[in-house]
Amino acid sequence: MKVACIGEAMIEISMSDEKTNLGVAGDTLNTAVYLKRSAPEMDVDYITRLGSDPFSAKITEFIKDQGLGTTAIEISEDRHPGLYAITTSSSGERSFTYWRSQSAAKQLFQSSSGPNFEYLDIYDALYLSGITLAILPDKMRTALLGYLRQSGQTLAFDSNYRPALWSSPSKARDLMQKYWKRADIALPSMDDEMLLWGQSEEEIIDRFSALDSDGALKRGAAGPLSLSPVDQKNLNFAPSAKVVDTTAAGDSFNGAYLAARLTGATQEHALMAGHRCASHVVQYPGAIVPHPADEA
């Protein structure tokens, strides 16, 4: 199984009262890291576009250190990575400040002859998010959807809605719905869908049930709701023992869930694996928590 996670890798500044940490993160990169950790035997590549600057080199080094493939990373000579800062409240809720106007990832898949998706052909499964789509130009979003509709690869998708990245909610809703219809594995979050659609929980559940996709609707501490037929009565989604920072809670769930599903595990196992991973991640600051081997 060869998987590609596609999106934007950024420099992350996490701030607290005591210190400021410099790291590397991004929603689909976070998922790639937890996917690889959950299924070490799987080939997982990260696909993005970076610059030729020292920060881009730091990002590439980080990706390699996480055991992810970097051969498909594109390089721009006149752009650099985006940057964001996290501030966290006493309850663990986070807010973000972004600097990404010149992000090289906005030019992902662009070539002198137009959109180029040929190097995606080697993968069995692809994962991308609404943030991946939001940073791309309209024509590239449409071209990518056309490629995906013709490809036979498994597509996993998470809307990860960030209002500031879209020209309007209606634009985001229209495009997201097209990608949901193509997705084989849907990984939406209740909060994102309520924000984007203004719907109740029941309406959101009905909408995703109608798609007839595999996947899970993430609901934070309440635990995921299966989008595939399964008896959840015997599943115990215990809340995390403590919550320090909810950054990457959904991304880490996606990684562990996908690792289970793509390696043939049952839906029940995948739901529990995703919830356990997310419950662990929120106990640490930042998007990428220490590797278990480093804590031993």
Q: What is the CATH number of the domain that holds 55?
A: 3.40.1190.20
Neighbours of 250 (CB within 10 A): 26
Q: Whose structure tokens read 């070539």? A: 111
- Cα 107–chain centre separation: 19
The whole-number average pLDDT for the span 90-100 is 75
User: pLDDT tens across 215-229, in order?
Assistant: 999 998 889 999 988
Neighbours of 49 (CB within 10 A): 21
User: pLDDT tens across 183-236, in order?
Assistant: 999 999 999 999 999 999 999 999 999 988 899 999 988 899 999 888 777 788
**How confident is residue 9, by pLDDT bands cut at 50, 70 and 90?**
very high
Which of these ranges, 16-30, 71-85, 162-176, 264-278, has the smallest mean pLDDT?
Answer: 16-30
CA-based angle 70:292:44, to the nearest 5?
25
3-state secondary structure the chain: CEEEEECCCEEEEEECCCCEEEEEECHHHHHHHHHHHHCCCCEEEEECEECCCHHHHHHHHHHHHCCCECCCCEECCCCECCEEEEEECCCCCEEEEEECCCEHHHHCCEECCEECCHHHHHCCEEEEEHHHHHHCCHHHHHHHHHHHHHCCCEEEEECCCCHHHCCCHHHHHHHHHHHHHHCCEECCEHHHHHHHHCCCHHHHHHHHHCCCCEEEEECHHHCCEECCCCCCCCCCCCCCCCCCCCCCHHHHHHHHHHHHHHCCCCHHHHHHHHHHHHHHHCCCCCCCCCCHHHHC
Q: Whose structure tokens read 């600057």? A: 53
Can you give the pLDDT at residue 98? 86
Which residue among the candidates 27, 158, 192, 251 is catalytic per the annotation? Answer: 251
Total domains in the fold of the chain: 1
Active site residue 214: no
Residue 295, pLDDT above cutoff 60:
no
pTM: 0.93
Please report, as a single letter, which amino acid is at residue 296: A
Provide the edge-to-edge strand list for the sheet that holds 10-15.
20-25, 10-15, 83-88, 94-99
Tell me the residue range of the domain where 74 lies.
2-295
Q: Which of 80, 109, 102, 79 is nearest to 4 (CA)?
A: 109
Can you give the pLDDT at residue 293? 62
